[in-house]
A and B are shown apart, each in its own frame.
Chain A
């Protein structure tokens, strides 16, 4: 339920100020003692299309377009097309672009600012969940230092922590500070999941590569349609 809510919420927070964003990424994911490292590039095109081109450990293209997700493997000449009833999104990238909104998009999804306080140079804001999710989700906390988001925490209804994120190494573009390093810890019943995403070489409002702009699955590729 928490994942469903976060996915729905993040799909409403795509920025309108930047027309294109392209950035290299390295994602480290640690679950149950197993470490995975994925490297590639992400291309964002307004109003909401995201293309992820993975270079390692496999060659993979993922195109997010509303309720449709296409996954293409050029080396294997295989593709999957997911048709969902709700928008499909990529949470770890939306944590990066979500900073465009001053409240991280929380107001758009029904959260209400309940209180705030300052501790030194850090501004903490505390948000109450919307009624429709208040049975599962609890308070959301955001922390800022000089307009840069540095910390986010989501609690469950019972007060336990569902996840914590730390944002570092910000880059300034326009009026926004984009975090180039995001560390997230997700707490489950039995384990903790660690995720570290490092972004490099970000480019804003520059033309995207032709192969991304004009991407089409070759006709000789077998496409498996999955109605989700």
Chain B
């Protein structure tokens, strides 16, 4: 009898833990503050807005392309701030610019690295083309 009660309690506890596991993301979503929502949206949209064209720039201009990606003037996504509260704007602006700039710098760096690899392979295959 005691064993049956123990097994029953164990099942209840297991069910509660599983329910909590699934409920936690839902609960945390409902209580996401304006600031956190802004940060989340800013990061997502900064990455989404990042241009793959910077990979081409990095490929063609090597480290200068990487520097340009980091320093290039970024437009302010003003339309996304219309009708949003101050906490949201604060969170959004903090993360958007950083996420977009970082992503574009990575693209440029990837292009730069690819260019270096191709140059190295080209030299390895036929060094005479690199000599004067």
Chain A interface (Cβ within 8 Å of chain B)?
A: 1, 3-4, 7-8, 27, 36, 38, 40, 52, 54, 56-58, 60, 62, 64, 69, 71, 73, 76, 78, 80, 82, 84-86, 88-92, 135-136, 188, 224, 226, 228
A–B pairs, 7, beta carbons within 8 Å: A4-B51, A27-B82, A40-B83, A60-B83, A89-B78, A90-B82, A228-B76
B75:A135 contact, CB within 8 angstroms = no
Dominant SS at the B interface?
helix
List the A residue with the shortest CB-CB distance to B54.
Answer: A1
Instruction: Tell me the nearest residue of chain B to A3, going by C-beta.
Output: B49
Neighbouring A residues of B53 by C-beta, 8 Å: 1, 135-136
Instruction: Find the A residue at minimum CB distance from B50.
Output: A1
Q: How far, in angstroms, from A136 to B79 measured CA to CA in the complex? A: 22
A136-B51, A226-B93 known; A58-B78 Cβ under 8 A: no
Are A82 and B76 touching (Cβ within 8 A)? Answer: yes
Q: Which residues of A contact B90 (CB under 8 A)?
A: 80, 224
A58/B85 in contact, CB under 8 A: yes
Q: Are A228 and B51 in contact (CB under 8 A)?
A: no
CB distance from B49 to the nearest CB of A (A): 6
Which of B51, B78, B86 makes the CB contact (< 8 A) with A90?
B78
Q: Which of B75, B84, B97 contacts A4 (CB 8 A)?
A: B75
Give chain B's interface residues, CB within 8 Å of chain A. 48-49, 51, 53, 56, 73-79, 81-86, 89-90, 93, 97
Measured between C-beta atoms, what is the minimum distance from A67 to chain B in Å?
9
Q: Does A84 contact B82, Cβ atoms closer than 8 Å?
A: no
Complex partner residue of B82 from A4, A52, A136, CB under 8 angstroms: A52
Q: Are B75 and A7 in contact (CB under 8 A)?
A: yes
**A54/B82 contact (C-beta < 8 A), A84-B73, A85-B73, A226-B93 known:** yes
Residues of A within 8 A of B48 (CB): 188
Cα–Cα distance between A92 and B83 once the two chains are bound (Å): 14
Nearest first, the 7 closest Cβ-Cβ pairs linking A and B are: A38-B83, A1-B51, A85-B73, A78-B86, A7-B75, A88-B76, A4-B75
Q: Which residue of B lies closest to A36 (CB)?
A: B83
- Residues in B neighbouring A40, C-beta threshold 8 A: 83
Check if A80 sits within 8 Å of B86, measured CB to CB.
Answer: yes
The CA of A52 and the CA of B78, in the complex, are separated in Å by: 11
Residues of chain B lying within 8 A (CB to CB) of residue A135: 53, 56
B-side contacts of A62, CB under 8 Å: 78, 81-82
